[in-house]
């Protein structure tokens, strides 16, 4: 049975709700999608050290066509793939991508990040059949081009709380109010798996780029 | 009977008193550390790094460590259908947890317009001309103030503006945004009209708090002094609404008037008195000739009594002229030792380390004896100098009582909801 994965999107991070907040059930929720990139992933890796031994397939796709470039250490280690691309990522780490050559956005390139929080537990030998789907939509790219930021939390739906509908046409995405804590909402509905952040910042041609690119490990499955 | 109850009560008090202390009776297993924001400071109203709190980037290895932490050692193949994955970093063994978060140290400023405007900046005593042409962008190191030079403004021939750009350091609420977004900065016709009519324009770029977002889709917002009601400070207003990321201040002061030395406060070493600049030492840099020099921050005025741009707050960052040290370490490279008061003792040395965070000092006696033979004449035992101000000084009574209370939420076991990935 294929896991149902939903995403929750916040159209730009806002600041204050990052402060400690109570859930509706009265519990204090210490984590937030507004925390700096990598903080939640590091918490995941530190609290469950075994998780960093896993390699989780992640399927990244663009609206229609385009190229996705993955970086491992520096621009010199760029791995250019056509959409959809499915590398193996290590939970707890953050990955910087470049999306480009999209026919809907000629000349546009953006550099989103994927912060992998958790892993799936597929049947033995079928990991490639159950990747974490991360879909970058046309609307999200348009928002990023307006110097705004999109934060999307991808979570594994809890079967008891799942909507009794068939998942067609891609991953279901739900927009929430600006003050909501996406991780908290996703945690109430299932298990947060990854955070996708898209903005308009690109590498500065005058500055060193080492700060910009991720050094997280990548794995590609090219064999049978 | 009365003695019996008295003895019983005494026994009860003794037993309870031996088993618990006062804190356990009132709040069991509850201990309070000062907030992190307070711990990073030596004490109230005192800046600098504090004890016991490592800076976020202190765990990072040497070298450029960006917003995305470096991976661990290599991984030799792995399960889940990756037989020796195509990209395997060098080194054996599995990966460790990602490195600690390091805040971005640059903010990308995107000069949107007017299109065609040349952007230069100060590099020491001179200016680097035409380094960018709007629209363009540049990564400015944070926690510093830069003097820019806007020239070749379309439709305003001959107008040159020298604004200052204050790039604020990363705040936890702005870190993710600054990693993924550029700060848009557009100079409008209205701004230039205000400058040409001897007005001062302040533009504040800030990230609004969620409660101040009017729309579900929101990004950075901009406050301009000329569009606010009189008396409103755009910086204070932006700080109230969110977290400031950059401030641009723009007037019509000409900093390159022919025949005059640049004001002391625009050059390096702003604490130095104004002096003649030797033209041979001023580097001429022009971007139209393919020359590019990064901007040099201005500021560093050590005292409010010296005019000029004040120094920025102490944060970690690349060391450079006019910038604070890279991740300042107490007692190293001129950074004051934590806990050492600047108040001198009668012997001219710094006093004993005080216990931070307002605890009472325990020193009750400090004796130093000098047994050197000397004959320097008798000291003056009574000195009288009469001074007088006309008119006399009359000021309101100083405050003698301030009550300041901070309340921080406390959550115990059973009150915290942890996500699956957080254990």
Instruction: Kindly report the three-state secondary structure assignment for every residue of B158-172.
Output: CCCECCEEEECCCCC
Q: What is the pLDDT of residues A156-173, one digit of tens each?
A: 998 888 878 877 778 888
Q: Does B423 touch chain A (CB under 8 A)?
A: yes
A14, B210: Cβ pair inside 8 Å? yes
Residue A114, domain member (yes or no):
yes
- Among B96, B101, B420, beta carbon nearest to A52: B96
Whether the predicted pLDDT of B330 surpasses 50: yes
Between B321 and A184, where is the model more confident? A184
Rounded to whole angstroms, the Cα distance separating A31 from A46 reads 14
pLDDT at A221: 75
A202 touches chain B (CB under 8 A): yes
Q: How far apart are CA B243 and CA B240, in angstroms?
A: 8
Interface of B with A in 344-373 (CB under 8 A): none
On whether residue A138 sits in a domain, the answer given is yes
How many Cα atoms sit within 13 Å of A210 on the Cβ side? 7
How far apart (Å, rounded) are the C-alpha atoms in residues B285 and B168? 27
Helix%, strand%, coil% for chain B, nearest 5 = 15, 20, 65
Got the DSSP string for B24-47?
HHHSTT---PPPHHHHTSSBTTB-
- Interface contact flag, B87 A54, Cβ < 8 Å: no
Average pLDDT on B274-281 reads 48
Beta bridge partners of B363: none
Cα–Cα–Cα angle for A127, A132, A136, nearest 5°? 145
Q: Answer whether A57's CB lies under 8 Å from A128's CB.
A: yes
Indicate the average pLDDT of chain B: 70
Task: Give the nearest partner residue to B219 out of A113, A147, A216, using CB atoms.
Answer: A147
Percentage of chain B lying above the pLDDT 90 cut: 18
Can you tell me which residue has the tokens 């999200």? A140
For B179, name the nearest residue in chain A, comparing CA atoms only: A201
Mean pLDDT of B255-264: 65
pLDDT tens-digit map of B378-414: 888 999 999 888 888 888 888 889 888 888 888 888 8
Among A53, A92, A3, A217, CA closest to B74: A217
Give the 3-state secondary structure of residue A91: coil
Helices (H) and strands (E) in chain A, counts: 3, 14
Query: Is residue B420 over pLDDT 70?
Result: yes
B60/A199 Cα distance (integer angstroms): 25
| Longest distance between any two alpha carbons in chain B, whole Å | 105
Residue from A9, A10, A11, A14 whose CB has the most chain B CBs within 10 Å, to mutate: A14
Closest-CA residue of chain A to B214: A178
**Lowest-confidence range among A2-16, A41-55, B222-236, B245-259?**
A2-16
The shortest CB-CB distance from A113 to any of B103, B180, B419 is to B180
B window 144-173, beta carbon within 8 A of A: 170, 172-173
To the nearest whole Å, the CA of A219 is away from the closest chain B CA by: 5
Residue of A nearest to B112 (CA): A147
* Other CB atoms within 10 A of residue B154 CB: 11
User: Residue written as tokens 């879909």?
Assistant: A135
Beta carbons of B172 and A90 less than 8 Å apart: no
CA distance B340 to B323: 23
Which pLDDT score, from 0 to 100, does residue B210 have?
Answer: 76
pLDDT value for B369: 85
Q: Tell me whether residues A219 and B67 touch, CB distance under 8 A.
A: no
Cα separation, B207 vs B241, in Å, equals: 8
Give the Cβ contact number of residue A139 at 10 Å: 14
Which of B166, B164, B159, B181 is closest to B67 using CA atoms? B181
User: Would the CB atoms of A52 and B71 count as touching at under 8 Å?
Assistant: no
Bridge partners (DSSP) of residue A148 are B219
* B183-186: strand order across its sheet: B136-141, B106-113, B183-186
Integer angstrom CA distances of residue B164 from A173, B80, B157, B343? 43, 54, 21, 35
The range of the structural domain enclosing residue A26 comes to 5-219
pLDDT in the model for residue A76? 78
Write out pLDDT tens, residues A15-31: 334 444 544 567 788 88
Q: Do the domain assignments include residue A224?
A: no
Written in H, E and C, the secondary structure of B92-139 is CCCCCCCCCCCCCCEEEEEEEECCCCEEEEEECCEEEEEEEECCEEEE
Q: Does the N-terminal peptide bond of residue A220 adopt cis geometry, omega within 30 degrees of 0? A: no
pLDDT (tens digit per residue) in B83-116? 333 343 433 345 667 776 666 788 999 999 899 9
Contacts 24+ apart (CB under 8 A), B390-394: none
Report the alpha-carbon distance of residue B411 to residue B30 in Å, rounded: 9
Evaluate whether residue A108 is within a structural domain.
yes
Q: Is B222 exposed, middle or buried (0-12, 13-18, 19+ CB in 10 A)?
A: middle
C-alpha closest to that of B89 among A60, A90, A114? A90
Q: Do B108 and A201 touch (CB under 8 A)?
A: yes
Measured CA to CA, the distance from residue B13 to residue B29 in angstroms comes to 21
CB contact under 8 A, A199 and B420: no
Give the residue-averaged pLDDT of B261-281. Answer: 46
**Residue indicated by tokens 């059930």:** A25
What 3-state class would DSSP assign to A224? coil
Q: In this structure, is the dihedral angle defined by the CA atoms of residues A12, A17, A20 and A26, taken in order, positive or negative?
A: negative
Contact B172 A35 (CB under 8 A): yes
Tokens at residue B45, please?
């109203």
Q: What are phi and psi of B317, to 5 degrees?
A: 170, 170
Residue with the larger pLDDT of the pair B39 and B54: B39
A 21-80: CB under 8 A from B? 23, 25-31, 34-49, 52-57, 72-73, 77, 79
Asked if B176 and A149 come within 8 Å (Cβ–Cβ), the reply is: yes
A16: DSSP letter: G
Residue A103 C-alpha, separation from nearest chain B C-alpha, in angstroms: 23
Residue of B56, B57, B59, B66 to mutate when probing chain A, most A C-beta within 10 A? B66
Q: Residue range A89-108: average pLDDT?
A: 93
Contact A25/A61 with Cβ under 8 angstroms?
A: no
Interface check B22 vs A, CB under 8 A: no
Contacts of A206 (CB under 8 A, 6+ apart): B138, B139, B292, B294
- Total domain count, chain A: 1
CA B385 to chain A, closest CA, distance in angstroms equals 58
Which A residues, 131 through 190, put their C-beta within 8 Å of a C-beta on chain B? 143-144, 146-149, 151, 175, 177-179, 183-184, 187
Task: Tell me if B180 and A47 make a contact (CB, 8 A cut-off).
Answer: no
pLDDT digits (tens, 9 = 90+) for B40-72: 555 555 555 444 434 433 333 333 333 343 333
Residue of B137, B176, B292 with shortest CB distance to A36? B176
Given B82, B181, B416, which is nearest A30 (Cβ)?
A: B416
Residue range B298-325: average pLDDT?
55
Phi/psi for A179 (5° steps) reads: -85, -5
Structure token pair of residue A55: 């390699």
């Amino acid at each position: 049975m294929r896991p149902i994965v939903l995403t929750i999107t916040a159209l730009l991070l806002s600041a204050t709700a990052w402060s400690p907040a109570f859930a509706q059930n009265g519990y204090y929720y210490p984590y937030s999608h507004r925390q700096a990139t990598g903080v939640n992933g590091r918490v995941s890796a530190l609290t469950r050290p075994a998780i960093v031994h896993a390699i989780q397939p992640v399927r990244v796709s663009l609206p229609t066509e385009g190229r996705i470039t993955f970086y491992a250490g520096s621009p010199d280690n760029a791995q250019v793939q056509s959409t959809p691309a499915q590398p193996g990522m290590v939970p707890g780490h953050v990955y910087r991508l470049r999306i480009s050559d999209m026919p809907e956005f000629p000349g546009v390139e953006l550099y989103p990040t994927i912060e992998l929080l958790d892993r799936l537990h597929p049947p033995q030998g079928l990991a490639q059949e159950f990747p974490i789907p991360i879909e970058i939509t046309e609307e999200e790219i348009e928002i990023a081009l307006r110097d705004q930021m999109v934060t999307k939390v991808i979570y594994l739906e809890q079967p008891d709380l799942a909507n009794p509908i068939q998942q067609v046409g891609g991953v279901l995405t739900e927009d929430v109010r600006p003050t909501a804590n996406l991780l908290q909402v996703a945690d109430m509905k299932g298990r947060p798996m990854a955070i996708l952040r898209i903005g308009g910042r690109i590498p500065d041609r005058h500055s060193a780029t080492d700060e910009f690119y991720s050094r997280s490990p990548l794995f590609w499955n090219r064999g049978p | 009977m009365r003695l019996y109850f008295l003895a019983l009560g005494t026994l009860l008090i003794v037993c309870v008193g031996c088993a618990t202390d006062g804190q356990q009776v009132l709040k069991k297993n509850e201990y309070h550390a000062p907030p992190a924001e307070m711990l990073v400071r030596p004490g109230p109203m005192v800046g600098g790094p504090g004890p016991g709190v490592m800076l976020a980037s202190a765990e990072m290895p040497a070298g450029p460590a960006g917003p995305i932490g470096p991976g661990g050692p290599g991984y030799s193949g792995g399960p889940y259908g990756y037989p020796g994955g195509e990209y395997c970093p060098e080194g054996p063994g599995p990966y460790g947890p990602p490195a600690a978060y390091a805040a971005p140290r640059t903010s990308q400023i995107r000069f949107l317009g007017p299109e065609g405007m040349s952007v230069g900046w100060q590099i020491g005593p001179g200016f680097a001309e035409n380094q960018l042409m709007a629209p363009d962008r540049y990564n400015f190191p944070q926690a510093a103030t830069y003097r820019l030079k806007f020239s070749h403004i379309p439709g305003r021939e001959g107008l040159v503006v020298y604004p200052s750009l204050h790039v604020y350091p990363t705040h936890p609420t702005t870190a993710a945004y600054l990693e993924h977004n550029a700060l848009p900065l557009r100079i409008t016709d209205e701004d230039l009209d205000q400058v040409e009519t001897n007005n001062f324009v302040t533009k504040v770029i800030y990230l609004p708090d969620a409660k101040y977002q009017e729309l579900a889709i929101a990004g950075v917002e901009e406050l301009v002094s000329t569009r606010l009601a009189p008396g409103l400070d755009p910086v204070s207003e932006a700080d109230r609404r969110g977290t400031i990321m950059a401030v641009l201040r723009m007037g019509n002061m000409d900093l390159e008037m022919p025949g005059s030395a640049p004001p002391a406060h625009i050059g390096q070493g702003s604490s130095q008195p104004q002096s003649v600049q030797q033209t041979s030492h001023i580097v001429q840099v022009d971007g139209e000739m393919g020359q590019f020099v990064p901007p040099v921050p201005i500021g560093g005025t050590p005292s409010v009594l010296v005019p000029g741009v004040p120094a920025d707050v102490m944060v970690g960052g690349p060391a450079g002229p006019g910038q604070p040290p890279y991740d300042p370490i107490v007692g190293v490279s001129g950074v004051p030792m934590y806990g050492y008061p600047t108040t001198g003792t009668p012997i001219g040395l710094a006093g004993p380390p005080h216990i931070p965070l307002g605890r009472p000092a325990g020193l009750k006696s400090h004796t130093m004896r000098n047994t050197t033979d000397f004959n320097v004449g008798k000291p003056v035992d009574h000195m009288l100098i009469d001074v007088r101000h006309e008119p006399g000084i009359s000021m309101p009574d100083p405050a003698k009582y301030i009550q300041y209370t901070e309340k921080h939420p406390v959550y115990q076991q059973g009150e915290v909801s942890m996500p699956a990935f957080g254990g």
